[in-house]
Structure 1
């Protein structure tokens, strides 16, 4: 990019939505300053306020460009252009501050030193240079994102082709590392709704892959188990391709044989198709990203054209547009009227309102023809009245469609017991009763169709982009996982005594339940939006911070947890405290053992978990949410090290029930570790989201601590039972410091309360800033 011609604001096309949103507040502030020049200001207080605004803008620009220059130092390919853009931004910021200064005339009256034109020129220069800095910085982030995506794809191919469990453990560990990296990088762009969806998808797939491979390795002849595995791999590749598609602004990745992998999933009830042809990949991408396919968007487009008729006077060029727009609306209402779950009353109302909209549009078109024949150049009263009537008919139709979709959802969640469907399938599979399983599978398929139908109608009436993208993806996942739940059920039915097949079914049922819960959540959010209670608020991104994972966030004011939040967190913390007590009691028996890395790391993890428990009570060394999240990261790393130690120790354990139990517990550790790592890396903004993250981090830590406790106990039992030597080599680098990062944190002064939701103060300014991972 170095040496590329510079662009000015008039010719610059902003294709990255996050950059466009970042500029919105800056444009608003600059507009305020420009408008302040239009009228003479006599108030001394107002003039002083303008001076402060100018100083604040210049200071913000200075901080902004210092970050841009640091990014340039780390990325030689953009260094020249970045330094030039930062120089222009700094000069424009200084000019704005100068133009906001106050000079006093000899008579004592305050006046500005420059006029509106000077402010406009400075503002244009600032916006142009800031946009250029953002675009250059964004290329760095996108390059990192694509690189991480490519590494995940390579790891995925390696993981898919492993031949035994030992190879799988190595490949899965590497894949997990690459996935966490991708999750972190894409998390910085989570306000782009597609990236938020992709992160959730990849997290969900990663959590089921571990159990899928164990099932396939344990039952290699089972066709339904292979279908489960192949489908998940296919969907992960789909997600990887979509990352590329979004990042590259619609460019389809080259589907070389190596990137496609060796597996193609069979088409199963229409849920997934072979992606062996590039055209198929293009089709689903374009369909997934097309947001003009919903009723809400079609009605909005129709209403916009109707509004324009005040200026176009329904000229000949616009008549076809109006007719086509209404036809698109009516076509999309067929998903409501054709649904088997739509009541007769709702269906009749929708059809009547469609006919009413057609009648009103025909009246509008007739008035337009009359104005055209009369040669009128201004709207008449009849035209205005017809426009209002058409818009009213459109609004009533939209309201009816919303009511229909929400009533569908209410009826589904009111009369359906999801747990009953799951229980019936599972019990029939465990009993090995193929006939009963087929009977319950048919009922579950009908139920799954109902859930998908509700999700599709909610997608139609979703009024925000994020809800539309979320519901679209949810509809797709429901189609995929409904079939996979049945496949997992048949696998267990074929192997009813298999513990791993039972866990495989449990995982898919858990995923299905989470999808149904997501449908209920979307339904509630759409209902709130329809009532006007939660207007959508834009989320703005900031310039990436220097370094590989850096982001900057808007500073958050420290706030304290209320009593209900404290109680919920404290309950989880107490459960974790009980686990640490059990771990301590078990390892205490081996306190005299020298150089025992397993006991040492188990105690270290216990102490880390205990410090997190203290955080829930407002005690201990962890003062802020950032402390908690960092501790959780080290906890996950320590769990990985302990996992490797015990895996090595397990080779000494003779075959039998004890070894089987040890390996069963041990095999679950990587999944829980990655689940905690995903949760810690998940970015959040605001108190509510931060509290949810704290809650989730402690919950995931408790889950990991629970399985570690079982692994360590079983390991120690094996060592005693078989008189095995499980001492590790002494490590000179060991430290019993429960928080490896505390030396760095000691440089900070914590001023917040023990239960505050805020990050730690920065070294430079000493002011409270938000958690950099949020």
Structure 2
């Protein structure tokens, strides 16, 4: 049977579900739901195709065995599906009736399909097939909602425990309760980790992975920030650090829930507003120009696409951290692209132009944009290699720690200013890495890491200020060390992302 179904994963005989025919499209967001529905859909598709291939809707003797086998497999699969759905219904009373009703409808639809598959036309089978898939989907989504609710409840427990811990004033009470908080965070991490693995969309999985990683880092930072507050209750800055960490953690928890619940709030990233995608759109527009022989409409579309490219290129050339030589090369290459495009535009409005001239003009545009892409990537990777290879951050942290230990507040302020400048440069290079990101997951990884680094920078500098005021305090020293270690780790993650991009593009600056 497996050989018979190979290559028959879709069928032109069964058009996709559409809202206009009484059923909503199946918005499949988890691998579990997809893997449950797909085999049954494949088997039903096979039966319908055999029906369509057979004149007078009768099976030839050579097909009888396989068709009967597939029909039996479909029937057994639906029965097992219904039994599983009913078990879930018994376990969760709140959705019991909804699941039972959907299971009943699924059973009726499958019986209708199997009864008609040998005698009905393909068109007559479309409605019951759609209804079967829709009812099965409903059962799966209802069962999935139970998992989502478990994650939400786990998040609420973490939320409540964070608020409770932040109100404690006794260090022993805090330590006794923190172990319970750690267990709750571990449970939330386990549930969200399983959910991440089941996510069908690469973008959702990438966001969840980043947020889970930051929550894990924040848990350690939160512990040390609470120690500072409890050991030095008269220090307002210590309370501010703890409040900021709690805010970061709650924000991360909320964002994960938004992703899992498919909230509109989870789709606010600008992964489509980057240079790489603008370059791809322009390249596609040039391909269309080649297909349409450079007509006015296709060339105008290419000009629109290039205007977006030009806008993003300015983010590179306007950056204070772009070396003069790099800036000049990028500007010249971009101007070359514009010049070649203007030549193509002139040909598109000419009444007498040879096809060869248009073809050459399009090829020149394509070569120019390839050069521009190469130049921008080369600049980004070279700048990233120089920045992350300089070890400036290590030197700054060593100087900051030494100054804080000695209580040299003026020097701490001076080094803090240098660290902010260094962080600004990292942010700028990170934005350029996002612009040349080859995938959405790479874009998310760099963006989220850079944003977390920015938040952590202020926590680091605040902890250094507390350390400079309490130089002999073990809690203050530990707080600073934890912040510094986390800061270095994040910079290392950005450096690793740049190296991976370089390797994936087979480019060495």
**Normalising to structure 1: TM-score of the pair?**
0.52
Does 2:169 match 1:189? no
* 1:52 to 1:361, Cα distance in 2 relative to 1, 3 A: farther
Equivalent positions of 1:24-173 (< 5 A) are 26=38, 29=42, 33=46, 37=50, 64-87=81-104, 89=106, 124=130, 127-169=133-175, 171-173=177-179
* 1:465 to 1:347, Cα distance in 2 relative to 1, 3 A: same
Equivalent positions of 1:200-349 (< 5 A) are 200-250=213-263, 287=268, 289-307=269-287, 322-349=302-329
* 1:357 to 1:14, Cα distance in 2 relative to 1, 3 A: farther
Residue 311 of structure 2 aligns to a residue in which SS? Answer: helix
Q: Is the 8 A contact 2:227 2:475 kept in 1?
A: yes
- Structure 2 CA distance for aligned equivalents of residues 303 and 25 of structure 1: 37
- Structure 2 CA distance for aligned equivalents of residues 463 and 315 of structure 1: 31
**Quick check: 359-368 or 74-83, which moved more?**
359-368
Q: Is the 8 A contact 1:295 1:461 kept in 2?
A: yes
Q: Is the 8 A contact 1:34 1:116 kept in 2?
A: no
* 1:290 to 1:57, Cα distance in 2 relative to 1, 3 A: farther
| 1:505 CA drift (Å) | 1.0
Equivalent positions of 1:277-676 (< 5 A) are 287=268, 289-307=269-287, 322-366=302-346, 389-416=364-391, 418-531=393-506
* 1:385 to 1:26, Cα distance in 2 relative to 1, 3 A: farther
Q: Is the 8 A contact 1:212 1:228 kept in 2?
A: yes
Q: Per-residue displacement from partner, 1:311-353 (whole Å, max 9, x unpaired)?
A: 8888888777654433222222223223344334432332233
Choose between structure 1 and 2: higher helix proportion: 2
Map of 2:6 onto structure 1: none
Q: Per-residue displacement from partner, 1:220-277 (whole Å, max 9, x unpaired)?
A: 233442332222122123223323443454456xxxxxxxxxxxxxxxxxxxxxxxxx
- Structure 2 CA distance for aligned equivalents of residues 521 and 126 of structure 1: 48
Q: Per-residue displacement from partner, 1:106-162 (whole Å, max 9, x unpaired)?
A: xxxxxx999876887776455434433333233333333333333333332223333
Q: Is the 8 A contact 2:37 2:133 kept in 1?
A: no
- Structure 2 CA distance for aligned equivalents of residues 519 and 60 of structure 1: 47
Q: Per-residue displacement from partner, 1:58-90 (whole Å, max 9, x unpaired)?
A: 666655554433333333343334334445556
* 1:425 to 1:62, Cα distance in 2 relative to 1, 3 A: farther
* 1:407 to 1:30, Cα distance in 2 relative to 1, 3 A: farther
| 1:489 CA drift (Å) | 1.6
| 1:462 CA drift (Å) | 1.5
- Structure 2 CA distance for aligned equivalents of residues 57 and 517 of structure 1: 52
Aligned alpha-carbon RMSD (Å): 4.3
* 1:424 to 1:331, Cα distance in 2 relative to 1, 3 A: same
Q: Per-residue displacement from partner, 1:542-596 (whole Å, max 9, x unpaired)?
A: xxxxxxxxxxxxxxxxxxxxxxxxxxxxxxxxxxxxxxxxxxxxxxxxxxxxxxx
| 1:518 CA drift (Å) | 1.3
Query: What is the number of equivalent residue pairs in this alignment?
Result: 472
Q: Per-residue displacement from partner, 1:397-428 (whole Å, max 9, x unpaired)?
A: 33332222222222233332654433332222
* 1:186 to 1:169, Cα distance in 2 relative to 1, 3 A: same
- Structure 2 CA distance for aligned equivalents of residues 396 and 125 of structure 1: 52
- Structure 1 CA distance for aligned equivalents of residues 372 and 121 of structure 2: 52
* 1:66 to 1:188, Cα distance in 2 relative to 1, 3 A: farther
* 1:329 to 1:247, Cα distance in 2 relative to 1, 3 A: same
| 1:212 CA drift (Å) | 0.6
Map of 2:5 onto structure 1: none
Map of 1:9 onto structure 2: 17
* 1:155 to 1:322, Cα distance in 2 relative to 1, 3 A: farther
Q: Is the 8 A contact 1:9 1:127 kept in 2?
A: no
* 1:79 to 1:21, Cα distance in 2 relative to 1, 3 A: closer
| 1:503 CA drift (Å) | 0.7
Residue 400 of structure 1 aligns to a residue in which SS? Answer: helix
- Structure 1 CA distance for aligned equivalents of residues 314 and 36 of structure 2: 38
- Structure 2 CA distance for aligned equivalents of residues 313 and 139 of structure 1: 53
- Structure 2 CA distance for aligned equivalents of residues 34 and 360 of structure 1: 55
Residue 9 of structure 1 aligns to a residue in which SS? Answer: coil
Q: Is the 8 A contact 1:34 1:119 kept in 2?
A: no
Q: Is the 8 A contact 2:155 2:188 kept in 1?
A: yes
* 1:428 to 1:400, Cα distance in 2 relative to 1, 3 A: same
* 1:464 to 1:72, Cα distance in 2 relative to 1, 3 A: farther
* 1:99 to 1:156, Cα distance in 2 relative to 1, 3 A: same
Residue 17 of structure 2 aligns to a residue in which SS? Answer: coil
Residue 195 of structure 2 aligns to a residue in which SS? Answer: coil
Gapped regions of structure 2 (runs ≥ 5): 1-15, 55-60, 200-204
